[in-house]
Amino acid sequence: LKLSKEGLFDDSYKKDIPLFIKNIVIITSLNGVVKDDIIKIIKTRANYQKIFLYPTTVQGKDAAFQISNAINNVNKNMTPDVIIIARGGGSIEDLWPFNDERLARSVFNSNIPIISAIGHETDFTICDFVSDKRASTPSDAAKIVSINQEEMLQYLDEIHIYLDNTIKKTI
C-alpha cells in the first residue's frame, strides 16, 4: 500500500522497452536453466544482440539485497538497452525476495528499462508491478527483447518500398 501511494506502480513512470535492442543485461542465478533458456531463445531469434550476465542469488535472505545492488551497479557502470531480472518458478517463500521494498525502489529508480521475469505465468511479485514490463516467464522475456530476424528483414523491406515510392512521387 505504501509503495502504491508513492506511485511506484503508476504506468506514467514506466519506461518504454526499446524496439531495437543491442545490449541486454540479465540479472539471475548462474545455477539452473533460466539463463540457458533466455540465451538460447535470444540467440535463435536475434544473434546480433550482446548478452551480459550479472550473477546474483535469486532465493534466500540475501537475494533482494544482491539483486538491488546489481541493478544499481548496472545503472552506474554499464549502458545496456534493457535489464532482465529473471528467476524460475518456486514456492511463495522462494519468490519472496522479489517483494522486498529496497528491491522495488531500485527497480523504480533504474534509468535503464527493466523487465521482470519472475516465476511462472501465475506468479506475481511486487517487482513485477514496479518494473517497466512484466514477462509471464523468463522465456517470454527473451521473446520480448529479441526481434525475430525474419520479422526484421520484412520490416526493412517495407521501409525500402515506402522510401522508394516516396522518392518516385517526389521526383
Backbone angles phi, psi at 86, to 5 degrees: -130, 140
What is the rounded distance in angstroms from the CA atom of residue 129 to the CA atom of residue 159? Answer: 36
What is the per-residue pLDDT across 44-60, written as a single tens digit (0 to 9) for each? 998 889 999 999 999 99
**Among 35-49, 120-134, 143-157, the least confident range:** 143-157
Backbone angles phi, psi at 134, to 5 degrees: -105, 130
What is the rounded distance in angstroms from the CA atom of residue 152 to the CA atom of residue 170? Answer: 27
> Of 92 and 150, which is predicted with more confidence?
92
High-pLDDT (> 70) share of the chain, %: 100
High-pLDDT (> 90) share of the chain, %: 82
